[in-house]
Amino acid sequence: MISIITTFFFVFGLIIGSFLNVVILRYNTQRNLGGRSSCMNCQKELLWHELIPVVSYLTLKGRCAHCQSKISIQYPLVELVTGLIFAGLFLKFRDIFYVNTYVFSFTMAFYATMFSLLIIIAVYDLRHKIIPNTLALFFGALAFLGMFLFSSSGFYPHIPSALEFLSGIFIALPFALIWLISRGTWMGLGDAKLALGLGWLLGLSRVLSGVVVAFWSGAIVGLLLIAFSKKHGMKSEIPFAPFLVFGAIIAFLFELHLFPIF
Predicted confidence band at 171 (pLDDT cuts at 50, 70, 90)? very high
Identify the bridge partners of residue 38 per DSSP, sorted by sequence position.
45
Cβ neighbours of 139 (radius 10 Å): 24
- The model carries a pTM of 0.92
Q: φ and ψ at 154, to 5 degrees? A: 110, -155
pLDDT tens digit sequence for 117-157: 999 999 999 999 999 999 999 999 999 999 999 987 778 88
Answer whether 121's CB lies under 8 Å from 241's CB: yes
Q: Using only the alpha carbons of the chain, give its radius of gyration.
A: 19
- Domain ranges in the chain? 1-92, 101-262
Q: Is the pLDDT of residue 41 over 90?
A: no
The overall longest dimension of the chain from CA atoms, in Å, is 58
3-state class of 188 per DSSP? coil
